[in-house]
Amino acid sequence: MFDSILTHLMLIGLLGIGSQWFAWRFRMPAIVVMSVAGLLIGPVLGIMNPQEDFGNLFNPVISVAVAIILFEGSLNLDFREIRGLGKSVFRIITLGAFIAWILGSLAAYYVAGLSWAVAFIIGGLFIVTGPTVILPLLRQAKLKPRPAAILKWEGIVVDPFGALLAVFAFEIITFITMDSVTAESLLLFFLASLFAVLIGVASGKVIGEMFERGYVPEFLKSPLVFAAVIGCFTVADEVMHETGLLAVTAMGMTMANVHTASLAEMRHFKENISVLLISGIFIMLTASLDRDTLMQVFDPNVIFYVILMLIVVRPISIWLSTINTELTFKEKALIGWIAPRGIVALTVAGYFENVLTESGHLDAPIVTPLTFALVFATVCAHGFTLAPIAKKLGLSLEGKPGVLIVGGSRFTTEFAKVLQELDIPVLLTDSSFEQLFSAKKAGVPYYRGEILSEQTEYYLDMTPYDKLIAATDRDSYNSLVATTFVPDFGRNNIFQFSWHVDEKDHPNDLVKRAEAQILFEKGATYEELNQRVNEGYVFRKTKLTKQYTFEQYSKEREKGNIILFVLKQSGKLNFVTTSFTIKPEPGDTIVSLSPTGKEKKKIEEKLLSQRKEQREQK
């Protein structure tokens, strides 16, 4: 009853997304969790074997999914991102990849015991890292922009070249060892690779032009791009196996750099699809392994080879390729350690195992165990160590999660100052210098620019900030900002001021569909908050204790006091919203906007007390 393909698809989906949630909840590398889940339902418990269950559909489904994932990753490769890093990136994806190929091949021959033919094919395949593993790790680790950009570019650009390098090595070896292969076949390989690049670039330019000229309606743009990706991949791959990955990478990079207006809207949708595909593919690949393959992973030669790849081959290739570049010693050390392998390595390894076996190479069966050992070892080693090592080297964005405030005013300036005093990173942004004048005068970090502009992404690093407040004087603009940044910050971390009107069927009812939470209390609009600051209201920090509880604070709370947020003893920041009831505990700090009457009363009481003490002393 429950042993059908439909049931297996359901199980793959549940385990994949469940693994992603588990990894997010407990701050673990998602690939590790997914791999373990796949192994449990596959070779360990024997619940399913996707390769057998899906039959001839298994490889095409995996290949198309990898193509979509690689395309989605290449959409992020805008050349503006690597200003000042072009030399390093170019060196790593060319010279660094070549050095890694040679050293990896030598290690495979002398340590893993493979033949020269299989060793050079494996060496070419193992230069890949890939967006399926590196992008999730970068999101979790919160690296500084320079090392993050290099690792991302290397992972996405080198991915198709690793597969092509393995194909090239196979063609060369076959040419040398077999009389049936001619120089024309090698020429065909290079021409096919060139064709893949050309068809990818042409597809990207044509689609970009169609979008700009309005030839495609909005509701068809994402479906059209998906169809074009699959078509581009299939045509190139039919001409020469594995060149399809090169074609979709070229297509994605072309679209990213023609700066099509519709690309931003599609990117978030494609990221969601990519997460779903990555989750499913890892479950399918690991569940398809058999127990004999797993046992071969523990072979001493395999283990020693993996260790060499981790601590010798990767660091040497990075250090040699980045001599006389702009990278610092610490950046080289971090990049030289991080190189997790992923889906492309596993899928292409399966293809080459079959091809090499058919060609009569007796050591071909070791290809899959060796690949899985390297994938699992690198994902675990780099996934669990990237954040700590980056922090140790000073290459991570340390400190408490920060707050990005959109909209300059007296209130937001004073609000930002309070956050600064509590050691919470804060940045105030506005497109008007006039609105930022008070921030500049008060020494509050600010950025002058349009937050919704595409250019802002390349000049403003938003990584340190996990909360965003839309705080301008226009409700509709605040709503637009909130809706735009929901995919980046998450709905629970985006806030805006209370609306100016609260009437049913108001023409501006559109703003009430915003994705943001409404800050503070009902009626705390832009004008109301700034008016209170102008009237002399002060920002007060009150720390609760076991003796002075929140109940006591509430009893003494004066009329007109607005509680803004609570800084938990753990460092977590909880903003007060119209839908969130705060529950402060001893050790927490309450920040409020309070009238000055109580302050005056406190000062008067203190003066009276001092005078009384002076009289008694006399």
pLDDT one-digit tens code per residue, 328-368:
888 888 888 888 877 667 767 776 777 777 777 777 788 88
Of residues 181 and 149, the one with the higher pLDDT is 149
Q: Are the beta carbons of 260 and 279 closer than 8 angstroms?
A: no
Tell me, what's the pLDDT at 459?
Answer: 63
Tell me, what's the pLDDT at 68?
Answer: 79
Rg of the chain over CA atoms, in angstroms? Answer: 29
Q: Are the beta carbons of 263 and 256 closer than 8 angstroms?
A: yes
Tell me, what's the pLDDT at 186?
Answer: 65
Over residues 415-419, the mean pLDDT reads: 85
Long-range contacts of 422-425 (CB under 8 A, 24+ apart): 422/541, 422/567, 422/589, 422/591, 423/399, 424/400, 424/567, 424/573, 425/399, 425/400, 425/401, 425/464, 425/465
Assigned fold of 5-392: Na+/H+ antiporter like fold (1.20.1530)
Buried b (16+ CB within 10 A) or exposed e, 392-419: ebebbbeebbbbbbbbbbbbbbbbbbbb
pLDDT at 598 over 70: no
Tell me, what's the pLDDT at 613?
Answer: 66
Beta strands 562-567 and 589-594, pairing class = antiparallel
Tell me, what's the pLDDT at 602?
Answer: 57
The model's confidence at residue 4, banded by pLDDT at 50, 70 and 90, is confident
Q: Are the beta carbons of 287 and 41 closer than 8 angstroms?
A: yes
Would the CATH topology of 5-392 be identical to that of 402-605?
no
φ, ψ for residue 564 (rounded to 5)?
-95, -50
Q: What is the CATH number of domain 402-605?
A: 3.40.50.720
d(CA 448, CA 432): 7
Highest average pLDDT, of 25-34, 168-177, 458-467, comes from 25-34
Tell me, what's the pLDDT at 505?
Answer: 46
Q: Is the C-alpha dihedral spanning 69, 319, 149, 75 positive or negative?
A: negative
Tell me, what's the pLDDT at 139?
Answer: 66
Of residues 184 and 527, the one with the higher pLDDT is 527
d(CA 478, CA 496): 6
d(CA 519, CA 525): 9
Angle between helices 183-212 and 243-257 (to 10 degrees): 30
Over residues 228-234, the mean pLDDT reads: 88
Window from 6-15, 167-176, 182-191, 333-342 with minimum mean pLDDT? 167-176
Tell me, what's the pLDDT at 605?
Answer: 60
d(CA 368, CA 372): 6
Containing 329, the helix (H) or strand (E) segment is helix 329-337
pLDDT at 370 over 60: yes
Measured CA angle at 226 (ends 224, 231), to 5 deg: 95
Tell me, what's the pLDDT at 80?
Answer: 63
Tell me, what's the pLDDT at 269?
Answer: 62
Q: What is the pTM of this model?
A: 0.65
The model's confidence at residue 1, banded by pLDDT at 50, 70 and 90, is very low
Provide the percentage of residues in the chain whose pLDDT is more than 90.
0
Window from 129-143, 212-226, 233-247, 314-328 with minimum mean pLDDT? 129-143
The model's confidence at residue 35, banded by pLDDT at 50, 70 and 90, is confident
pLDDT at 458 over 80: no
The model's confidence at residue 511, banded by pLDDT at 50, 70 and 90, is very low
The residues spanned by each domain of the chain are 5-392, 402-605
Over residues 459-484, the mean pLDDT reads: 80
540 burial level (CB within 10 Å; 0-12, 13-18, 19+): middle
323 burial level (CB within 10 Å; 0-12, 13-18, 19+): exposed
Window from 38-42, 353-357, 402-406 with minimum mean pLDDT? 353-357
Provide the percentage of residues in the chain whose pLDDT is more than 70.
79
Tell me, what's the pLDDT at 504?
Answer: 47
Q: Name the residue among 271, 244, 284, 249 with its Cα closest to residue 130.
A: 249
Highest average pLDDT, of 119-133, 141-155, 224-238, comes from 224-238
Tell me, what's the pLDDT at 496?
Answer: 83
pLDDT at 307 over 50: yes
User: What are 90's two structure tokens?
Assistant: 């170019």
Average pLDDT of the chain is 77
Tell me, what's the pLDDT at 510?
Answer: 47
The model's confidence at residue 507, banded by pLDDT at 50, 70 and 90, is very low
Which amino acid, one-letter code, is at 524? A
Tell me, what's the pLDDT at 130?
Answer: 64
d(CA 391, CA 395): 6
